[in-house]
Amino acid sequence: MKKSQCRIISVASGKGGVGKTSFSLNLAYNLSIQKKKVCIIDADLGLANIDVVLGINPKYTLEDMIFNGKSVEEIIYPVDDFLHLLPGSSGIPKLADLSPSQRRDLIQKFSSLTGYDFIIIDNSPGIAPSVLSFCLATKELIVITTPEPTSITDGYALIKSLKENGLYYPPFLVLNRAKSREQIKKVMGRFQEVCKKFLGISILFLGVLFEESIVGEELTHNVPISKLYPNSLAGKCYKLITDRILNRPKQNLFLSDPTEVIKQSVIQFTARIARQDFDKKVEDPLALINSLKILIQNAKSLKQDKILVEKIRQQLKEVESLVDSYLNTAELKKKIGVLSQDIPMKNLITDILLDRNFDVIDLLSVKDIDSLELDLIIYYHLPTKKLSDSHMKIFKTTTPILLISHFNYFIHHKNIKGFLKSPFNIEDFYLEVDRLINENS
């Protein structure tokens, strides 16, 4: 029976050249010799080179799956019975150019990535959108650093960026090329202290790899150092790290569905690329409007990432202001009151309106409705509950009301201008809201 869930581990670093790819390969190898079925996804976009280290020449890569119609089964390269590789490429940045239907097709392809105990994602160094997206979508993250000051600084910058974008699970840290116990204690102690003080997160120390001349022989022999020299200091360090991974308490908490992880990675990646477009301060109003549509689409898919959604909404407001200024149009912001005793539906309607940059007022929390200057009232009718007398006043105002109900139900008041059955189509909802506001203007 195929497994639908496994442990998915992202491996990342603040800068290149710290041994991240070698670590990913050796961890995967050590897990595989424990009879754990492992797949490495080579997501290092700049130097996708696990195949080079292994001395293999895969026929297809991730780019062929993304753009040339190849399936997961066609591109997976079996290194041995328990270790497989999804070869990397430079194709992942082009994910931003995929249409929604193409993204859905790509995510569906990953649904066949089953039967593994572990999936290791070897990321690019730094804080590129693809790195943040993969790392935040996985429940386990290993950050590789060395004792060099620049490596430590860049490692901290990576964790800081992840924290600012919603990092939830404490990351593991591996110190590579260590020279002494004193150095390990000093570097790790300082790193832990800084992360706790300034980021409010704990760092889990996974292990250390000492500096050895034999490490470079991986490329010469096209074999992981753990297989080449299992009894070396490096080999023993990798075994200890692997044992800690295998014996981690409460492992069920870290199981994930690979399809869902890839889905979240693609959604977040697309949103971050769209955000980068704004940082370039594009002046072309058509380009701004197109980016605005992308952001609206992705904001609806990122409800669990509150920080990112809030930043997207702020940028939506900035774009709207720029477009209005460029086209010399009047402000589009309208004030809408939402009234419903069905709290989940009220929250859903509010979220949809906020995505369109409306000002939304919860009328359940307002005592004096007469004092509000509203462009529209949206009333979601719940037959099992009666409105209070103060809220019944909405039917005596001159503000147009859009009534939404499960039933063919109509309240005969002259200011009910529109009626929608629920559940409603979002586009129909937008059209009806815009129509009523325009009629009232």
Q: What is the pLDDT of residues 40-90, one digit of tens each?
A: 998 876 555 788 788 888 888 888 887 788 899 999 999 999 999 998 765
Task: Provide the pLDDT for residue 372.
Answer: 79
Question: Which tens digits make up the pLDDT trace of 61-75?
Answer: 888 887 788 899 999
> What's the CA gap between 285 and 121, in Å, rounded?
38
Question: Which tens digits make up the pLDDT trace of 150-194?
Answer: 889 899 999 999 998 889 899 999 999 999 989 999 899 889 888
Report the amino acid identity of residue 325.
S
Q: 325: number of CA atoms within 13 Å, CB side?
A: 9
**Residue 255's pLDDT band (boundaries 50, 70, 90)?**
very high
Task: Provide the pLDDT for residue 57.
Answer: 84
Which residues partner with 376 through β-bridges? 336
Asked if pLDDT for residue 32 goes beyond 90, the answer is yes
**Overall residue count recorded for the chain in this entry:** 441
Question: What is the residue whose two structure tokens read 């060395």?
Answer: 146
Domains of the chain: 6-263 (3.40.50.300), 335-440 (3.40.50.2300)
**Residue 328's pLDDT band (boundaries 50, 70, 90)?**
very low
Task: Provide the pLDDT for residue 318.
Answer: 63
Q: What percent of the chain has pLDDT over 70?
A: 77
Task: Provide the pLDDT for residue 34.
Answer: 96
Q: Is the dihedral of CA 223, 228, 233, 237 positive or negative?
A: positive
Q: What percent of the chain has pLDDT over 90?
A: 28
> What's the CA gap between 266 and 361, in Å, rounded?
33
Task: Provide the pLDDT for residue 281.
Answer: 46
Burial class (CB within 10 angstroms; exposed 0-12, middle 13-18, buried 19+) of 316: buried
CB 18 within 8 A of CB 11: no
Best mean pLDDT range from 96-105, 191-200, 209-218: 191-200
How confident is the model over 381-392, as a mean pLDDT?
77
How confident is the model over 240-257, as a mean pLDDT?
93
How confident is the model over 2-20, as a mean pLDDT?
87
The residue with greater pLDDT, 376 or 299, is 376
> What's the CA gap between 225 and 212, in Å, rounded?
11
> What's the CA gap between 292 and 213, in Å, rounded?
52
Q: Where are the alpha helices (DSSP H) in 98-148?
A: 100-109, 129-137
How confident is the model over 402-411, as a mean pLDDT?
68
Asked if pLDDT for residue 389 goes beyond 90, the answer is no
**Residue 2's pLDDT band (boundaries 50, 70, 90)?**
very low
Q: CB atoms < 10 A from the CB of 392, how many? A: 11
Task: Provide the pLDDT for residue 62.
Answer: 82
Closest CA to 312 of 349, 356, 348: 356
Best mean pLDDT range from 136-145, 177-186, 280-289, 418-427: 136-145
How much helix, strand and coil, in percent to the nearest 5, is found in the chain?
50, 15, 35
Residues with Cβ within 8 Å of 341's Cβ and at least 6 positions away in sequence, in order, are 364, 382, 385, 387
Average pLDDT, the chain: 80
Task: Provide the pLDDT for residue 332.
Answer: 46
> What's the CA gap between 243 and 157, in Å, rounded?
28
Question: Which tens digits make up the pLDDT trace of 107-130?
Answer: 888 888 889 999 999 998 888 888
315 backbone dihedrals φ, ψ, rounded to 5°: -70, -30
CB 429 within 8 A of CB 351: no
Q: CA-based Rg of the chain, rounded to a whole angstrom?
A: 27
Asked if pLDDT for residue 92 goes beyond 60, the answer is no
Residues with Cβ within 8 Å of 324's Cβ and at least 6 positions away in sequence, in order, are 330, 331, 332
Task: Provide the pLDDT for residue 222.
Answer: 83
Closest CA to 336 of 275, 384, 402: 402
CB 229 within 8 A of CB 220: no
Q: b vs e for 279-299, b when ≥16 Cβ sit within 10 Å of the residue's Cβ?
A: eeeeeeeeebeebbebbbebb
> What's the CA gap between 86 and 50, in Å, rounded?
10
Burial class (CB within 10 angstroms; exposed 0-12, middle 13-18, buried 19+) of 223: middle
How confident is the model over 14-35, as a mean pLDDT?
93
Task: Provide the pLDDT for residue 330.
Answer: 43
